[in-house]
Amino acid sequence: MIMSDLQGQIWMDGTFCDWKDAKIHILTHTLHYGTGVFEGVRAYETESGPAIFRLKDHTDRLFNSANLVGMQIPFEKNIIMQAQCEAVSQNNLKNAYIRPLCFYGSEGMGLRADNLKVHCAIAAWDWGPYLGAEQIINGIRVKVSPFPKRNPEAMIYKAKATGNYINSMLALKDALSHGYDEALILGTDNSVNEGSGENFFLVKDNKLVTPKLVTVLDGITRKTIIQLAKDLDIETLERNISVDEVYECDEAFFTGTAAEVTPIIEVDDNKINNGLPGPLTKQLQANYFNLIRGKHDKYNEWLTRVEKK
């Protein structure tokens, strides 16, 4: 089954259309120049129906990304939030991955086009663990990406912009072609940045360490994990991390809306925690899963219940 053959409804510029009719023109500007901004959001089944995790934070980041690339989203934030809820209910989903995308249309061509309209689409579908059902339990093997490295001056990596993902795709392709599950991307100073679509954490001496937000995305799962660690009295240090430190750490894991909390058991053939997911990683993963499924009262305000249609 290919994505465009799924059944359902997609929200496009204010109304729902049939999944198969959610089409755009070949001269869509963003398709040519990578100038779109997007989000990856998840809804999970809870005792009181599906609930979207940190909907407001994701929507705020979408609007921030648009600001960073100079794009004006032609809808109010509350409309985009409501449309994400409706994309879940309209498609009768209990668990959902939600993909809002804002892009320039086919009103003009060339870098200098000045008559472009911003269009918004929101699709939602059921998507299991991004890095694999087995991998989220048993962990993944990661390759430090030799190329390309991130230059903080060259791009706005804090924006979740479509063009940024060329860097991610090159790194991921390199890792996959060498038989690994995911890439670990470095900065121009050779410090660890992030995965192709995940933030990175290591555990050393019962503390979490994660790269500062310079050339990495301000991940919403990253923020959540830092808070869950705090609840366990575990401190998180945000600082530069060398590759050597990664090779010698006690535990490591990736976080992301799609990847959730995925243990890393090997980096460049160096086993982490004897090749097994670490105890703190497993604890944080379990607490994260409880939270998103509405079993953690303290954070219920992060869950937006989706009304049945």
Positions that interact with ligand PMP (CB under 6 A): 40, 160, 168, 194, 197-199, 217, 219-222, 255-257
Q: How far is the CB of 150 from ligand PMP (least distance, A)?
A: 10
Q: Which is nearer to ligand PMP, 184 or 280 (CB)?
A: 184
Q: Which is nearer to ligand PMP, 45 or 218 (CB)?
A: 218
Q: How far is the CB of 40 from ligand PMP (least distance, A)?
A: 5
Q: Shortest CA distance to 189 belongs to which of 227, 222, 217, 151?
A: 151
Active site residue 160: yes
State the virtual CA torsion across 185, 187, 191, 195 in degrees, nearest 10: -20
Q: Which is nearer to ligand PMP, 164 or 273 (CB)?
A: 164
| H or E stretch covering 23 | none
What DSSP assignment string belongs to 79-133?
HHHHHHHHHHHHTT-SSEEEEEEEEE-SS--STT---PPEEEEEEEE----TT-H
Q: Shortest CA distance to 57 belongs to which of 296, 230, 257?
A: 257
Q: How far is the CB of 260 from ligand PMP (least distance, A)?
A: 9
Give first-to-last CA distance, the chain, whole Å: 27
Helix axes 279-292, 220-231, angle to 10 degrees: 110
Q: Which is nearer to ligand PMP, 105 or 187 (CB)?
A: 187
Of these residues, 23, 117, 160, 207, which one is catalytic?
Answer: 160
234 near 228, Cβ under 8 Å?
Answer: no
Q: Shortest CA distance to 185 belongs to which of 162, 159, 137, 152?
A: 152
104 near 29, Cβ under 8 Å?
Answer: yes
Helix axes 55-68, 77-90, angle to 10 degrees: 130
Q: How far is the CB of 159 from ligand PMP (least distance, A)?
A: 10
Q: How far is the CB of 292 from ligand PMP (least distance, A)?
A: 12
Q: Which is nearer to ligand PMP, 139 or 219 (CB)?
A: 219
Q: Helix %, strand %, coil % for the chain, to 5?
A: 35, 30, 40
Catalytic site positions: 160
